Chains A and B, each alone.
Chain A
Amino acid sequence: QKEVEQNSGPLSVPEGAIASLNCTYSDRGSQSFFWYRQYSGKSPELIMSIYSNGDKEDGRFTAQLNKASQYVSLLIRDSQPSDSATYLCAVNDAGGTSYGKLTFGQGTILTVHP
């Protein structure tokens, strides 16, 4: 059973702080990793993709990947109240026949308070 684990939270940070969201995965052969943001009552929105070890930055978001430790994280700098949402980590199954199946964690609820 391939698993993706996230701290369920809730994670509460003050406005302007750095929010750190973590995710571990069980399938060592996984090749691609995604972070989705989901506002209450809405569908998931893709915010970051990462495929190689190291950091990938996009605006206030930085994704970090360490395949040896089977760990992926998302940092949100200068957090804003509008960042308050559930953040879902997703992993693409490895292997030639895996196509595009995503396995999701249960999500981390982030609250940014003014």
Chain B
Amino acid sequence: DAGVTQSPTHLIKTRGQQVTLRCSPKSGHDTVSWYQQALGQGPQFIFQYYEEEERQRGNFPDRFSGHQFPNYSSELNVNALLLGDSALYLCASSLGAGGDYNEQFFGPGTRLTVL
């Protein structure tokens, strides 16, 4: 049973560039959430995708956008990178129809460094 996968593992970009991160959810899951985790902090919710639509969004600027594909995989795009975007980006998968009780399972993350 494949768990959540993310690619790439590490990424180094320069300020102003654009980046795309990818995620495949756990088998049987249909919902993907993205989180940003700065060093020494808990993960911060970016947005959640279900049925190919953004269902909920956290307090992140429009530079952060996403997409979900018919096979439930997802992409996170960040435009005009800032130094402060350097963080671990986590994808979590869950079942979308379960409401409050959804358990979310994280992938290994993508470490983004912006120089």
Interface residues of A (CB under 8 A from B): 4, 31-32, 34, 36, 42-46, 49, 51, 88, 90, 92, 94, 96-107
Contact = CB atoms under 8 A, between A and B. Distances in A.
B78 interface: no
B106 A101 contact: no
Contacts of B63: none
B101 A31 contact: yes
Interface of B: 31, 33, 35, 40-45, 48, 50, 55-56, 58, 88, 90, 92, 94, 96, 99-109
Given A44-B90, A107-B42, A101 B103 contact: no
A103 B108 CA distance: 19
Contact of B106 (A31, A43, A99, A105): A43
Contacts of B108: 42-43
A94 B43 CA distance: 18
Contacts of B92: 102
B104 A88 contact: no
Nearest to B105: A46
